[in-house]
Amino acid sequence: MIRKQSVLLCTAVALGAILAAVLPQAVLTQAQGNPVVTAVPAEGDSSDDKQSSGKAVATFAGGCFWCTEAVFERIEGVDNVVSGYIGGSVDNPNYKQVCSGRTGHAEAVEITYDPAKVEFEELMEIFFATHDPTTLNRQGADSGTQYRSSIFFHNDQQLEEAKKYIEKLNKTKYNSKIVTKLEKATKFYPAELYHQDFFQNNPNYGYCQAVVVPKVRKVNRSFSEKLKDK
């Protein structure tokens, strides 16, 4: 099943996730009915608090956050990955609002990592290798500004590293120009609980099999030395 930006699909995904929690043996298929589902957002820590504890924070948007989350959760030195929304004009947005494309938010992941174990440039390498940074506001069949490719930088060092890395990739790797935006990190809103660890909790979900699994396999193959539990 390919994800489409519509209110119906947003509601269906929410219902499917809830059914999976209640009926763990059930296969996630087409949801029945269109109930209004309200989920409590996951709590997020302040990025300032994380950085003061010796950890660092990176925030990437590269299409569906189920994919990006699944990729970075596998990387050694990454302590936590939270799926959420950033870069928009509405406070406390929910999935249905972001799906509409009218809030300006991107689906993104906030990564807390240990810079002594994995560097920001290494995270960027994985980020660019696991999505298409040359398509504007689109990843595969997922289209809209909420699926834009963007690095939300938290400080000047991240900004400069990102500029240099993109310049290098434009010269050496891609035939089409990279359209990844560099945006100053604003308030990050963790997504609803059913989005967190979505691939881990729903590996047989149609979208996961079609879109997430190939990205995870690519990470396993191309970055085997950077994986946890090697």
Instruction: For residue 55, give the H/E element and its range.
Output: none
* DSSP single-letter state for residue 214: H
Contact between 83 and 191 under an 8 Å Cβ cutoff? The reply is yes
Question: Could you give the angle at which helices 213-222 and 65-72 cross, rounded to 10 degrees?
Answer: 30
DSSP assignment of 158-212 equals: HHHHHHHHHHHHHHHT-SSPP--EEEE----EEPBGGGTTHHHH-TTSHHIIIII
Contact between 110 and 188 under an 8 Å Cβ cutoff? The reply is yes
Catalytic residue among 64, 67, 99, 208: 64
Q: What tokens does 151 get?
A: 């690095």
Residue 14 and residue 105: Cα distance in Å, rounded?
Answer: 19
Any catalytic annotation for residue 10? Answer: no
| Long-range contacts, stretch 224-229, CB < 8 angstroms, 24+ apart | 226/75, 226/76, 226/118, 226/122, 226/126, 227/74, 227/75, 227/76, 228/74, 228/75, 228/76, 228/78
Q: Could you list the active site residues?
A: 64
